[in-house]
Amino acid sequence: MASELELKLAACPDKLNKIKGLDFPGISSQSPWQSKHLANVYFDTKNFKLRELAVGMRIRTTEGQFIQCVKSSGNAIGGLHQRSEDEIELASNQLDISAIQDPYLQILVEEAFEEDGEFIPCFETNFERSNSIITFSDSTKIEIALDIGTIVSGEDSQDICEVELELIEGSADYLFALGRYLIKELKLTLSNASKARRGYSLCKDFNPRQKVMQVTALSQGVEAETAFEKICFSSLNHWQYYELFLERDNAHGAVLEMYRAIMSLQHIYLVFGGLIPRNATKDLRKSWDWLAEAMRPIVDAAKHKRYLVRYLKLKADWDLVEEQQQKIQTEASQMIEEFKTLLATERYNLMMLNMSQWLYGKEWRNHIPENERDNLSMPIIDFARKQLEHMLKDLKRDLGPKLEMEPSSYFKQVSHLRRALDTGLFFGSLFDTNMRLNYRQPWLDVIDGIRELQMNQYISELQQENHAPEEIEEWLSKRNQPILDALQETRRSAFKSNPYWT
């Protein structure tokens, strides 16, 4: 099974034309540009079982050839796409799943067929591709492909205008350098959504589901370094999963999930500080701190929208007038647009590209003395237990069952609680699932209770023009006291539970 390494960047037609005229720095030769038309039909079952299994299947027609391709989703971080593919030429444009050569992909495709029936066309991509191969002095070869066309599903369509840089052979460092050059020279942006993902988003019956952050799949014998990489990829994938949701009605929820991923990434560096030196993550931590700071007003607006939606569902006793509702809606919409502008900046795109290279090249190893690198190979299980125990000790100190806590006290502990819950997601798959879920649930209930307190606080602030301070205080007390009582009881119950990692 072949493995491909690609870097994708979004562009516009004018910039594609400019690329053809660029003198790429550092190359020793470049082949002439060639063009061809590519027509692709993507297949899935009626309930999109292949998509659920993270597999893409298509037939590409080009220059009289019919090429069947089956791909695993692999990893897509900072525009860098790593995945495995099975490709074979067919005699016609009819699928032949028996021709799939890779055993793993064949099992997944057959599973989809057995569970959900025949494969049917879902969407098409039709585009013109201009490509050229550049060669560097050490014989590294990179194909530059410029694609312009459309994705079509039924009556809906999206434009294609992108650059794909694929490493044919040699050092991936040139791939990243070329990406930086195009970001700086032409202000291109990284593209994490494949043509297939964008195609699925057009399918009438396909409804991409909101998802919470999940446990990272680890086995007890996995090496610490591998665990670190997988946990990083998990949080980054969560960030990128929600990028497409920024164009939907629930964009405010997408912003909050993306911010959640940033908090998780920052915590990863802290948890693994004993194995991955802090100087190895210094530049990355600065970048994520910058992004988190830039997002804060956007996150605040998204939270206000969430409070509004939640409060209106409760049909609580104080009304929010139309003017107040409209103000919250407008604030959130404006901030979403600001966020999308932020994601198009050169600084953000270079940051994500640097993160991709750091992970791909395992650059933390450059900061670890040779005689300490054996620690990266230790099984993760003992390290995980120590981190979870440390987490519990901190929770007992700051949220212990005997502490009397007011709403403001809970508000200060939100980020702490999130870090604790994230530590459980990092290492939770190493332990019994039912025990972990039972242990985790009370803390999720605490988070939900704090959200209720935060909503009440925000609504009370909105009512300052309509009600006297004593009325607001009485209203807050009436609404908050049952929540505070429930939180106190939940904390007591949570600390009585036996930790699942002991």
pLDDT digits (tens, 9 = 90+) for 69-78: 998 866 555 6
Question: Is residue 23 classed exposed, middle or buried when 0-12, 13-18 and 19+ CB atoms within 10 A define those classes?
Answer: exposed
Superfamily of domain 224-496: CHAD domain (1.40.20.10)
Q: Is the pLDDT of residue 18 over 90?
A: yes
CATH of 2-202, picked from 3.40.630.30, 2.30.290.10, 2.40.320.10, 2.115.10.20, is: 2.40.320.10
State the pTM of this model.
Answer: 0.90
pLDDT digits (tens, 9 = 90+) for 303-331: 999 999 998 888 777 788 888 899 999 99
pLDDT digits (tens, 9 = 90+) for 253-307: 999 999 999 999 999 999 999 899 999 999 999 999 999 999 999 999 999 999 9
Q: How far apart are CA 349 and CA 118, in angstroms?
A: 40
Q: Is 85 helix (H, G, I), strand (E, B) or coil?
A: strand
Q: Is the pLDDT of residue 82 over 60?
A: no
What does the DSSP assignment read for 198-217? Answer: HHHHH-TT--PPP-------
423 near 271, Cβ under 8 Å? yes
Rounded to a whole number of angstroms, the distance between the first and last alpha carbons of the chain is: 41
pLDDT digits (tens, 9 = 90+) for 333-364: 999 999 999 999 999 999 999 999 999 999 99
Q: Where are the domains of the chain?
A: 2-202, 224-496
Q: How far apart are CA 8 and CA 352, in angstroms?
A: 12
Contacts of 453 (CB under 8 A, 6+ apart): 407, 410, 411, 480, 483, 484
